[in-house]
Structure 1
Amino acid sequence: MMTTASSSRSLLAALWWVPRGIVFGLMAFFIFGPLANLVLWTVAEKWYFPYSLPLEYGFSSWAKVFAPRGGALDSLRNSLVVAVLTVIVSLILAIPAGYALARLKLPLRSAILLAFLIPQAFPNLTVYVNVARIFYEIGLNGTIPGVVLVHVSHGLVYAVWIATAAFSAIDTELEQAARVTGAGALRAFFDITLPLAAPGLMASAIFVFLESLDEFTGSYFVGAPDVNMLPLLLYTTASGGNYQIASITALLLLIPSLVFMLIVERFLKADVLSRVGH
């Protein structure tokens, strides 16, 4: 009897893994299936229905992408320049704002934090059409500074909220101890507070960088056709049916996202995340 019951429990335990294995398999398929298809398109020379795999492989599409007239190098350079400038401007604004929101007893503090979410609260298309019209009147349309300003409006959401959480996670007694030993307010901030908040600020910078790198709508309405970016190149090549070039461009956008998200996971700790919005 005991042997039969034990065998039944072992069988049930083994069968319990069947639905779980099916669920995990489906999740892996939906996550990694599109990525595998993307990688195959980057090296496919000839691939058409009804064949499930490419008929010929090669790297001629990569040569076209990185040719002087391919447009990818120019788009990549513009995307990196805009992303770096967006990070710099966002941090310049977010560090003092985050410190003030974390340390000072400001009236309507919650309302101020919510105000940074306003650019995300409305449809991007309607907002950027009007932004493009205003920028055209003041000469910012079709320029790098104009695209950077549009990206900053979205990047500040991550920069300010994460900076506020990073500064809130630092014990105020550390600053007070530095002040007691004779350090001024700026010296205590730069020597004590800012280094301790650096991991959170690094994470916010990465979020802003990735948001800028992937931004399409603002780049299209404010930058195109004078400032070509990788998302714009991806859109034009995919619309034209050139799936090889589009897949290579998408891969160029995907790689830094994966790398930086691993870095974010390392730097953004639970004690910082717990203070977001507080």
Structure 2
Amino acid sequence: MTRPASSVFRRSGLTLDLWWIPRALILGLLAFVIFGPLTNLLLWTVAERWYFPHALPIDYGFSYWARVFAPRGNAMESLGNSLLVASLTVLVSLTLAIPAGYALARLQLPCRAVILIAFLIPQAFPNLPVYVNVARLFYQIGLNGTVPGVVLVHVTHGLVYAVWIATAAFAAIDRELEQAARSIGAGALRAFRDVTLPLAAPGLLASAIFVFLESLDEFTGSYFVGAPDVNMLPLLLYSAGAGGNYQIASISALLLLVPSIGFMLVVERFLKSDVLSKVGQ
């Protein structure tokens, strides 16, 4: 009969638990997978010279930061365009998602599940052939190489998050609260504005953040529809990485990473479990 490892290694009343070894190995591996690439990214942002076989940069400095933010650099213009496009994408997506989410959550619509699945269609097909044809169509109508054209492309992806989370947010609100407001004389619009909308605000805020992050990181649509007239951070990151300039690429990636981490913390704060449980229902 095999005895537990703790009993085998029991000496003088002390117990040696060997289960900490695989636990430590697993935690160490997870930490390496998560923080290893981030550490490498941070090192490249301050590396002046770094080449094989050196495990760490030879020289450190911030000269590449100065190049990125120089007046002739495209970083500030790209950052401004990315923030502008992401903000407009959020505005358009929520303008469409709030009435759509409310209708899907409150009304007995036929084929409701089909309507929700239809918003997943832009995610169901490869982006490359879709955006090539979108760019050809936008070129014919004068939207190629414009901010509105890029915003429209980003909205097609952002609506997935906006509509699904907005539907879940409205579905999580008790209908009796609206009915109580209606019973004391409030109209449908006022009950929605004063009761339903404030209660759904955390979920709508979370959907806005998801849309913002999706737009901020979108590359394929920005490249085929916006380049070269609309410079954006993902395009700057790609061109710097393709050219072997890993310092500038890492600095651009860090500029994209910081708002992503901040917004995800906001999502964790506002997106509650009762909203998540309603997603897709």
Task: Tell me by how many angstroms 1:7 deviates.
Answer: 2.3
- Number of aligned residue pairs: 275
Q: Residue 28 of structure 1 is aligned with which of 24, 28, 31?
A: 31
Partner of 2:268: 265
Seen in structure 2, the aligned counterparts of structure 1 residues 178 and 7 have a Cα distance that, compared at 3 Å, is same
Partner of 1:120: 123
The CA distance in 1 between the partners of 2:136 and 2:257, in whole Å, is 31
- Structure 2: gaps of 5 or more residues: 1-5
Partner of 1:222: 225
SS at match of 1:45: strand
**Pairs within 5 Å for 1:1-278:** 7=10, 11=15, 14-278=17-281
The CA distance in 2 between the partners of 1:106 and 1:6, in whole Å, is 66
Deviations 1:136-193 (A, max 9, x none): 0000000000000000000000000000000000000000000000000000000000
Deviations 1:212-256 (A, max 9, x none): 000000000000000010000000000011010000000000011
The CA distance in 1 between the partners of 2:229 and 2:262, in whole Å, is 29
Matched AA of 1:142: G
The CA distance in 1 between the partners of 2:166 and 2:98, in whole Å, is 6
The CA distance in 2 between the partners of 1:5 and 1:68, in whole Å, is 69
TM-score (norm 2): 0.96
The CA distance in 2 between the partners of 1:268 and 1:34, in whole Å, is 28
TM-score (norm 1): 0.97
SS at match of 1:183: coil
Seen in structure 2, the aligned counterparts of structure 1 residues 4 and 191 have a Cα distance that, compared at 3 Å, is closer
Deviations 1:19-44 (A, max 9, x none): 11011101101110110000000001
Contact 2:7 2:15 in 1 (8 A): no
The CA distance in 2 between the partners of 1:241 and 1:61, in whole Å, is 14
The CA distance in 2 between the partners of 1:172 and 1:5, in whole Å, is 62
- Structure 1: gaps of 5 or more residues: none
Deviations 1:87-127 (A, max 9, x none): 00000000000000000000000000000000000000011
SS at match of 2:48: strand
Seen in structure 2, the aligned counterparts of structure 1 residues 7 and 169 have a Cα distance that, compared at 3 Å, is same
